């Protein structure tokens, strides 16, 4: 099968050389890393930034008058501006650092606890990650608001007609992911946002799975909140971003109390600091934030259009080869999706498939992908999920296909 | 009746015949097919072992002071692992089961399944088997 990547404009071997981890072996086999939707790998350029931070200017930010603190503060704030520009956010102070997507979602959910009232309605989609379901369930329990679910269709997309029926003037919030983590479906968020705004509701979009593939223009989307994680886009774990419209960020109360988020503290009353510090209590993941900025620099230097085009090529190649395997079913096989393939082979448990693939040095994700409602919909215990990044190759896909066939022969 | 260490040694020797992981896994899958299957009526949430990506059910009966285990799983490799465990523990007195160690799993080249963080639940299976032994031992002492 194809052994050479034909994309002239995209030198994948040069890109692969940036990722030291891709050289390692697993179970004496060259690593084939297809679990990018869980965590992407880190290029040397980002690793260097992390090493440089701890080697030269590790210090606490925003408070020291000494040189190291100033350097660290500058680098951290520069990273914030990089993230702001990347997502076309109006102001740096609307670009909040978080510990990741889950943290960002919880910040908004907790803020809305003081806004929602009994009788209000909150809508989530059936395609959500548990982290975008549980916080809203907790919020609804606390406030007496009602949780409604946009159902999914057999092809892995949202039932938008059902969404239209769920919307009403009671709808205060809609939570939906930009891209489904379990299936890769790209959701019609433009439509969801404009329709929700028409009834006066706000929308939070979980961009964790979209951000590595799609450069979202948050002003053009007119979205109220958008959350991402750095570790899905070549950055480190434990850091992410929450964007909020200024009116919302001003209105929502702080998420947690502590240093950085205060203006004046007396035992009678504390006044909160302005944005973004109101939401950034305590010492943040300073190095992580700086490295997140470096990761965006790295990906932008390659170019998101190039990345998307190349990944789509990988997706189409893998899809056509997997479909040729007897008894294999792909869930959510639709044109508009990111480079994620969720599949099962008739009579093979995804756990068994994942175990054999691991022995062959191939890293995939198996299980319910923290999206149990989707698995319940298809009445399956889980799937095998192969998710591709721009540093993967068609050769690696050939290795996966051979591995899947070998496992199938062992297991069926 | 062979003792638990004797049975475990027997399993280790069987696995030593294979040169590579693939043959070992194939043998494990074979062993899974000989697993004494749990009665369908026990395949309920009450008998399910938590901590597994696949579903595992284990049931135990006391038969003349010895514990007989039956089990099942929806994943074939998991079924093989539980078959190996049950072969080593079934038909043994509770105290013997409680005293037994499980390092033979490492010796048969399945070390990766022993990690407590691995989602196959092997550690939970062993714990459940030992819990049955504790329960039947207590029952025997009280009666």
Comparison of pLDDT for B54 and A116, the residue scoring more: A116
pLDDT at A383: 94
pLDDT at A234: 98
Yes or no, beta carbons of A381 and B119 under 8 Å apart: no
Mark whether B52 is an active-site residue. yes
User: Does B13 lie at the interface with A, CB-CB under 8 angstroms?
Assistant: no
Query: Looking at the structure, do residues A135 and A64 belong to the same domain, yes or no?
Result: yes
pLDDT at B51: 64
Lookup result for tokens 């869980």: A38
In terms of DSSP H, where are the helices of chain B? Answer: 4-16, 21-33, 76-89, 94-99, 104-107, 122-142
Lowest-pLDDT range of A41-45, A64-68, A92-96, A339-343: A64-68
Yes or no, beta carbons of A382 and B76 under 8 Å apart: no
Domain boundary among A301, A327, A359: A301
Lowest-pLDDT range of A65-69, A259-263, B39-43: A259-263
Residue A193's closest CA among A201, A185, A184?
A: A201
Catalytic residue selected from A140, A234, A287, A370: A370
- The nearest CA of chain A is from the CA of B68 a distance in Å of 27
Q: Which domain does B72 fall in, by range?
A: 4-142
Contact B60, B68 (CB under 8 A): yes
pLDDT at A10: 82
Query: Looking at the structure, do residues A242 and A317 belong to the same domain, yes or no?
Result: no
Yes or no, beta carbons of A366 and B26 under 8 Å apart: no
Query: Looking at the structure, do residues A330 and A224 belong to the same domain, yes or no?
Result: no
User: For residue A346, which residues of chain B lie inside 8 Å, CB to CB?
Assistant: none
Contact A403, A362 (CB under 8 A): yes
The model's pLDDT over A227-237, given as tens digits with 9 standing for 90+, comes to: 999 999 999 99
The model's pLDDT over A241-259, given as tens digits with 9 standing for 90+, comes to: 999 999 999 999 888 776 6
Rounded CA separation A279/A97 (Å): 9
pLDDT-based confidence at residue A9 (cuts at 50, 70, 90): low
Lookup result for tokens 């504390």: A270
Whether A4 maps to a domain, the answer reads: no
User: Does A412 lie at the interface with B, CB-CB under 8 angstroms?
Assistant: no
With CA atoms as reference, the chain A residue closest to B26 would be A410
The DSSP-derived string for B58-80 is EEEEEETTEEEEEEEESSHHHHH
Lowest-pLDDT range of A19-28, A214-223, A394-403, B121-130: B121-130
Contact A203, A122 (CB under 8 A): no
- Which 122-161 residues of chain A touch chain B by CB within 8 A? none
- The nearest CA of chain B is from the CA of A315 a distance in Å of 27
Percent of chain B at pLDDT above 90? 53
User: Does B43 lie at the interface with A, CB-CB under 8 angstroms?
Assistant: no
User: Does A410 lie at the interface with B, CB-CB under 8 angstroms?
Assistant: yes
pLDDT at A4: 46
Yes or no, beta carbons of A356 and B25 under 8 Å apart: yes
Q: Calculate the average pLDDT of chain A.
A: 92
Query: Can you tell me the ipTM of this complex?
Result: 0.85
- The nearest CA of chain B is from the CA of A235 a distance in Å of 25
Q: Quick one: average pLDDT of A39-45?
A: 98
Query: Looking at the structure, do residues A127 and A35 belong to the same domain, yes or no?
Result: no
pLDDT at B52: 67
Lookup result for tokens 């480190």: A236
The model's pLDDT over A186-217, given as tens digits with 9 standing for 90+, comes to: 999 999 999 999 999 999 999 999 999 999 99
The tally of domains found in chain A comes to: 2
Rounded CA separation A367/B26 (Å): 22
Which domain CATH number covers B59?
Answer: 3.90.1010.10
Yes or no, beta carbons of A355 and B120 under 8 Å apart: yes
pLDDT at A14 exceeding the cut of 90: yes
pLDDT at A6 exceeding the cut of 50: no
Give me the total of CB pairs closer than 8 Å, taking one residue from chain A and one from chain B: 41
User: Does B17 lie at the interface with A, CB-CB under 8 angstroms?
Assistant: no
Domain boundary among A246, A280, A301: A301
Query: Looking at the structure, do residues A18 and A37 belong to the same domain, yes or no?
Result: yes
Domain boundary among A301, A336, A351: A301
Q: Which domain does A341 fall in, by range?
A: 12-43+303-411
pLDDT at B115: 59
Whether A322 maps to a domain, the answer reads: yes
């Amino acid at each position: 099968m194809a052994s050479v990547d034909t994309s002239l404009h995209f030198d994948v071997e040069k890109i692969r050389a940036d990722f030291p981890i891709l050289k390692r072996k697993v179970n004496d086999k060259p690593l084939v890393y297809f679990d990018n939707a869980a965590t992407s790998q880190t290029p040397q350029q980002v690793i260097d930034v992390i090493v440089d931070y701890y080697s030269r200017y590790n210090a606490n930010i925003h408070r020291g008058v000494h040189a190291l603190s100033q350097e660290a503060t500058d680098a951290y704030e520069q990273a914030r501006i990089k993230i702001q520009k990347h997502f076309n956010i109006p102001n740096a102070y609307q670009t909040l650092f978080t510990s990741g997507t889950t943290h960002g979602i919880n910040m908004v959910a907790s803020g809305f606890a003081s806004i929602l009232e009994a009788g209000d309605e909150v809508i989530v989609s059936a395609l959500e990650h548990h982290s975008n379901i549980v916080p809203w369930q907790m919020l609804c329990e606390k406030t007496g608001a009602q949780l409604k679910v946009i159902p999914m269709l057999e092809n892995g997309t949202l039932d938008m007609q059902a969404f239209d029926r769920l919307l009403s003037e009671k709808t205060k919030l809609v939570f939906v992911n930009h891209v489904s983590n379990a299936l890769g479906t790209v959701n019609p968020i433009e439509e969801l946002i404009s329709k929700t705004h028409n009834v006066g509701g706000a929308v939070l979009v979980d961009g964790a799975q979209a951000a590595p593939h799609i450069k979202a223009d948050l002003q053009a989307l007119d979205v109220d909140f958008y959350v991402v994680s750095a570790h899905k886009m070549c950055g480190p774990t434990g850091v992410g971003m929450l964007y909020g419209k200024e009116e919302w960020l001003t209105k929502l109360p702080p998420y947690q109390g502590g240093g950085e988020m205060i203006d004046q503290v007396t035992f009678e009353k504390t006044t909160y600091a302005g944005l973004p510090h109101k939401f950034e209590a305590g010492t943040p993941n300073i190095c992580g934030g700086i490295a997140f900025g470096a990761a965006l620099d790295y990906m932008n230097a390659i170019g998101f259009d190039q990345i998307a085009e190349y990944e789509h090529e990988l997706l189409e190649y893998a899809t056509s080869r997997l479909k040729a395997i007897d008894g294999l079913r792909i869930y959510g096989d639709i044109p508009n999706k990111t480079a994620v393939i969720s599949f099962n082979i008739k009579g093979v448990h995804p756990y068994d498939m994942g175990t054999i693939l691991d022995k062959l040095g191939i890293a995939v994700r198996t299980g319910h992908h923290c999206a149990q409602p989707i698995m319940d919909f298809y009445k399956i215990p889980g799937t095998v999920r192969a998710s591709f990044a721009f540093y993967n190759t068609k050769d690696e896909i050939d290795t996966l296909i051979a591995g899947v066939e070998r496992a199938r022969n062992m297991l069926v | 009746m062979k003792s638990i260490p004797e049975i475990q040694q027997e399993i280790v020797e069987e696995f030593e015949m294979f040169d590579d992981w693939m043959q070992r896994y194939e043998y494990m899958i074979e062993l899974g097919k000989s697993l004494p299957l749990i009665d369908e009526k026990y395949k309920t949430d009450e008998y399910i072992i938590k901590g597994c990506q696949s579903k595992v059910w284990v049931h135990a009966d006391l038969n003349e002071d010895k514990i007989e285990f039956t089990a099942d799983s929806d994943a074939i490799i998991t079924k093989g692992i539980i078959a190996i465990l049950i072969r080593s523990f079934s038909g043994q007195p509770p105290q013997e089961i409680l005293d037994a160690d499980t390092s033979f799993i490492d010796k048969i080249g399945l070390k990766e399944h022993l990690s407590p963080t691995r989602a196959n639940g092997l550690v939970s299976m062993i714990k459940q088997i030992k819990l049955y032994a504790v329960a039947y031992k207590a029952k025997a002492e009280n009666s």
